[in-house]
Amino acid sequence: MRYRVPFNRLVGVNFMDLGRLAGEVTATTGVELTPRDVERVIASVARSSHFWEILGLARVPYPAAAETIRLLQDQGLVQVDGTGAILLTAEGQAFVKVHALDPGQDFTCPGCGGRGLDLGKLKSGMQEFEELAKGRPEALLKYDQGHLTTASVMARVALMAERGDLAGKRLLVLGDDDLLGLAAALTGLPQEVVVLEVDDRLVHYINDQAAKSGLPVKAHKYAFKDQLPDRWVKYFDTFNADPPETLEALKVCLTRGLCGLAGAGCAGYFGLTRTEASLKKWHLFQAMLLAEFKVAITDIIDNFNHYANWGYLLESIGDDYPFAQVAPKLNWFKSSMYRIEMVSGFEGVENKPMSCELYLDEEALIYHPRNHGGTNG
Amino acid sequence: MRYRVPFNRLVGVNFMDLGRLAGEVTATTGVELTPRDVERVIASVARSSHFWEILGLARVPYPAAAETIRLLQDQGLVQVDGTGAILLTAEGQAFVKVHALDPGQDFTCPGCGGRGLDLGKLKSGMQEFEELAKGRPEALLKYDQGHLTTASVMARVALMAERGDLAGKRLLVLGDDDLLGLAAALTGLPQEVVVLEVDDRLVHYINDQAAKSGLPVKAHKYAFKDQLPDRWVKYFDTFNADPPETLEALKVCLTRGLCGLAGAGCAGYFGLTRTEASLKKWHLFQAMLLAEFKVAITDIIDNFNHYANWGYLLESIGDDYPFAQVAPKLNWFKSSMYRIEMVSGFEGVENKPMSCELYLDEEALIYHPRNHGGTNG
């Protein structure tokens, strides 16, 4: 970025170059950061003093955002008060003003939370879903769990219904701590829902609830690394997933989903965050979708998926950043909703066992040298 | 798609295979159609009887949708009544029922029209914009014109503002029959707006209005085929465009926009339809974005951009499909909003003159053997 007037001459703090700061963060964290990303972190601090809200607004992976805030503290642009609030100093405020940084006006539609979908028609379904979900197993770190809010689950279901991907169709759900399979079946639209899930607790829970309510949902134990059983290859019209966000895990998960689809015109739905995936990773992942999987991306809907807070967050992130050790005040963890569609001429992906060791990389919330060895696999 | 029960045994009409029908449409029109696309056309007829609304719902290029409806008429699944309404026959209704085709439930949020953005904060800006736009030049076929509704222009501006791409930034607008440059400047946020436009009428109109209102907007005459003048190379933070939808025109337009951006973290905004671009073309275009331009796609927001109806529509499409010769009852022509962002490590695109002859291909509204030669260039 061009900063036409040297910053030090204008606001009287030590010279600070956003590009150099971005480079320092990249060197420390291994996450590629741009000067504009640093701008966005500063602008997010101008809008909120709560660490987890700042992180959501900044659209930068957690380790890079936290390291940026630490360096901004060192530079005297940001301070943390006794309550853990993160605030701009006078120098920080001057910096925002001089660079006309947008403190991030919020234009989110209050009616739909920015998703663009009216869930009024699904109101009774939402109540039934909450009844079904009451006894759900607690989120576990070892399975990278953390489930969607009820509104987000129903919004995904509405999106599938609106696009004609649910009514009369066969739905594959790959991993389902969100209980999306049950939510989809509650609409009465899908012909059949198959849930493949590694966590025995969820397999039993989903099957119990489906049986009690007479829903066409069947859950089976399955691990991504295994090939998709033959009976489900090219069997489905639609898949849904919420994969861990390493490129390896994304590749394995998409391979399984696409193997399950019948052919051109069939669709896949999944979430991808900016909190655990840099835009550089988005670029690499999208290049994979286009070059290897040969699908078209039909939708990327920002902040569509909101996740309920999970119990292991503060413990799992380590204590490198004291200002991050505050309980979230809001459902801050969000992801973009991707919809992809198979196009004609698609050659198919090979259905084979694939190793998938890397459930976290340097952009993950729980990436940390000390626990890095213990959470994979 | 798998249709497990042969269709003819169930509903007593002649055997009709959606895959064969899709193949016939592809052979006639040159547009690749999937069986699911045919399903979507039928489901859209189940939801609306108005040709232009059906076309918008079906998400299939115009020539392919029209040819599909013609074949469905031949098959006895669809009929056109004396008022031009397109209706399912009894056989068509049975087909929809047997295949549990989703007639397309509408979940669009009434508050934001599905865009996810609350425009309440821009209300006074919208009124000022409508004043500024009152004397705008009429849309011309030769420039592929047809402008956004006021709500759509302001929603684009809101999206840019929310993402921090407008405040204190330099905005490049490539082609501007939408008058987006004026709308952006009315917010008071951008530092500078440069409009590059081939149509003299618009260059003069925009400069006149900007001067009268004291807005930081300057329009210049420019044709995409020319290289971007040196003074604007790497000069901008953000670009906006609404290119014609051939792959060639998309490539030239994106080249100009990206040449104008300063570097990683800078963003581009543009619309892409399903009415003039098949999902196959979307795939090829996205592959170009990833492999050649090395950007990341951050957003694809369905039906974000609504276009006001333009005077030359019925005349320009020819008379191959009599059922299409009805005046649109609604702003039916819509596009998805793309936001792309330059990622670090981007190598830059070459700024050179490029031929751009192909302003329409076989997926265009006005593609027609008889006028094909006369409208290019």
B324 DSSP assignment:
G
Residues of chain B found within 8 Å of residue A302, distances taken between Cβ atoms? 116, 298-299, 301
How far A169 CA sits from the closest chain B CA (Å)?
A: 8
| A299: its two tokens | 């939708």
- Minimal Cβ distance to B290: which of A290, A295, A298: A290
Site from B121, B294, B343, B347 to mutate, A interface, most A CB atoms within 10 angstroms = B343
Taking an 8 Å cut-off on Cβ atoms, the answer to whether B282 and A265 are in contact is no
Inter-chain touch A300–B298, beta carbons under 8 Å: yes
d(CA A304, CA A157): 12
Contacts of A291 in chain B (CB under 8 A): 287, 290-291
The pair of structure tokens assigned to B11 is 């509903």
d(CA A78, CA A76): 6
DSSP-based three-state secondary structure for A339: strand
Lowest mean pLDDT among A287-301, B149-163, B180-194, B362-376: B362-376
A3 burial class (0-12, 13-18, 19+ CB within 10 angstroms)? Answer: middle
What pLDDT score does B122 carry? 86
Q: With CB atoms and an 8 Å threshold, state whether B36 touches A161.
A: no
Burial of B345 (0-12, 13-18, 19+ CB in 10 A): exposed
Backbone φ, ψ for residue B71 (5° rounding): -65, -35
Which residue from A101, A302, A48, A110 is spatially nearest to B119, judged by alpha carbons?
Answer: A110
CB A340 within 8 A of CB A370: no
Between CA A55 and CA A314 the distance in angstroms is 14
Nearest Cα residue to B212 out of B184, B182, B236: B182
Mean pLDDT of chain B, nearest integer: 89
Amino acid sitting at position B347? E
Residue B373: phi, psi to the nearest 5? -65, -30
Nearest CB to A265 within list B34, B119, B286: B34
What value does the mean pLDDT take over residues A323-343?
A: 95
pLDDT at B178: 96
What are the phi and psi torsion angles at B41 (to 5°)?
-65, -45
Question: Could you give all domains of chain A from N- to C-terminal order, each with its CATH number?
Answer: 7-98 (1.10.10.10), 120-346+354-372 (3.40.50.150)
Residue of B nearest to A40 (CA): B164
How many CB atoms sit inside 10 A of residue A92's CB? Answer: 22
Quick check: B197 and B220 in contact, CB under 8 A? Answer: yes
What are the DSSP calls for B34-59, one per residue?
-HHHHHHHHHHHHH--SHHHHHHHHT
SS3 label, residue B174? strand
Q: pLDDT band at residue A13, thresholds of 50, 70 and 90? A: very low
Task: Identify whether the C-beta of residue B179 lies closer than 8 Å to the C-beta of residue B157.
Answer: no
Q: What's the pLDDT band for A370 if we cut at 50, 70, 90?
A: very low
For A96-155, the pLDDT digits (tens) are: 888 777 666 789 999 999 999 999 888 888 999 999 999 999 888 888 788 999 999 999
Neighbouring-strand partners of residue B300: A300, B338
- The token pair at B92 is 């068509």
H or E element, residue A174: strand A170-174
Q: Are strands B78-80 and B86-88 parallel, antiparallel or unpaired?
A: antiparallel
Dihedral sign computed on CA atoms, order A136, A115, A164, B60: negative
Of A112, A279, A345, the CB nearest to B111: A112
* Cα–Cα distance measured from residue B270 to residue B289, given in angstroms and rounded to the nearest whole number: 13
For chains A and B, count residue pairs whose Cβ atoms are closer than 8 Å: 220
- The model's pLDDT over B130-151, given as tens digits with 9 standing for 90+, comes to 999 999 998 888 887 889 999 9
pLDDT at B3: 40
Q: Do the Cβ atoms of A280 and B344 come within 8 Å?
A: yes
Mean pLDDT of A38-66: 94
Residue of B nearest to A344 (CA): B34
Half-sphere exposure of B217 (CA within 13 A, CB side): 32
Q: Are A179 and A132 in contact (CB under 8 A)?
A: yes
pLDDT of residue A5: 37
**B11 pLDDT exceeds 60?**
no
For B104, nearest residue in chain A (alpha carbons): A162
**Is 50 exceeded by the pLDDT of residue A243?**
yes
Q: For the residues A6-21, what does the mean pLDDT come to? A: 56
**Token couple for A315:** 């413990």
State the average pLDDT for chain A: 89
Instruction: Tell me which of A339-348, B150-159, B184-193, B354-363 is least confident.
Output: B354-363
Residue A71: the pLDDT is: 95
Beta strands in chain B (DSSP E): 78-80, 86-88, 170-174, 192-197, 217-221, 238-241, 267-272, 295-306, 334-342
| Selection from A92, A119, A90 nearest residue A103 by Cα | A92
Contacts of B189 in chain A (CB under 8 A): 102
Q: Which of A36, A287, A296 sits opposite B264 (nearest CB)?
A: A36
pTM for the predicted model, two decimal places: 0.93
Side chain identity, residue B258: L
A171 contacts in chain B (CB < 8 Å): none
Q: In this predicted model, what pLDDT tens digit does every residue of B55-94 receive, in sequence order?
A: 999 999 999 999 999 999 999 999 999 889 999 999 999 9
B282–A262: do the CB atoms touch at under 8 Å? no
pLDDT in the model for residue B368: 61
> Is residue B278 helix, strand or coil?
coil
Q: Please give the pLDDT value at position A173.
A: 98
Nearest CB neighbour to B112, from listed A1, A111, A191: A111
3-state secondary structure of B78: strand
What would the pLDDT profile of B12-62 be if each residue is shown by its tens digit?
343 468 889 999 999 999 999 998 999 999 999 999 999 999 999 999 999
The pLDDT of B304-320, averaged and rounded, is 89
Q: What is the per-residue pLDDT for A362?
A: 87
Query: What's the Cα-to-Cα distance from B84 to each of A117, B71, B81, rounded to whole Å?
Result: 31, 17, 5
Give the pLDDT score at A139.
83
Report CA Rg, chain A. Answer: 22
Residue A121 amino acid letter: K
Q: Is the pLDDT of residue B153 over 60?
A: yes
Q: Do A300 and B297 touch (CB under 8 A)?
A: yes
Give me the mean pLDDT over the A265-282 stretch: 96
Nearest to A235 by CA among A204, A206, A198, A260: A260
For residues A290 and B353, the answer to whether their CB atoms sit within 8 Å is no
Shortest CA distance to A77 belongs to which of A105, A99, A57? A99
Report CB contact under 8 Å: B117, A107: yes
Nearest to B283 among A166, A294, A301 (CB): A294
- pLDDT, residue B13, reads 40
Helix (H, G, I), strand (E, B) or coil at A264: coil
User: What is the predicted pLDDT for the residue at A64?
Assistant: 95
Closest CA of chain A from B144, distance in Å: 24
Question: How far apart, in whole angstroms, are the C-alpha atoms of residue B108 and residue A300?
Answer: 16
Q: Which of A136, A139, A53, A134 is nearest to A311 (CA)?
A: A139
For residue B131, the surrounding DSSP H or E stretch is: helix B123-133
For residue B265, what is the nearest residue in chain A, using CA coordinates?
A: A36
- Mutate which of B45, B112, B305 to disrupt the A interface (most A C-beta within 10 Å)? B112
Look at A296 and B302 and tell me if their CB atoms are within 8 Å: no
ipTM of the complex: 0.93
Mean pLDDT value of segment A1-17: 43
**Which residues, other chains included, contact B328 with Cβ-Cβ below 8 Å and sequence gap of 6+?**
B52, B309, B313
What are the pLDDT digits (tens) for A164-190? Answer: 999 999 999 999 999 999 999 999 999
Residue in B107, B117, B263 nearest the CB of A117:
B107
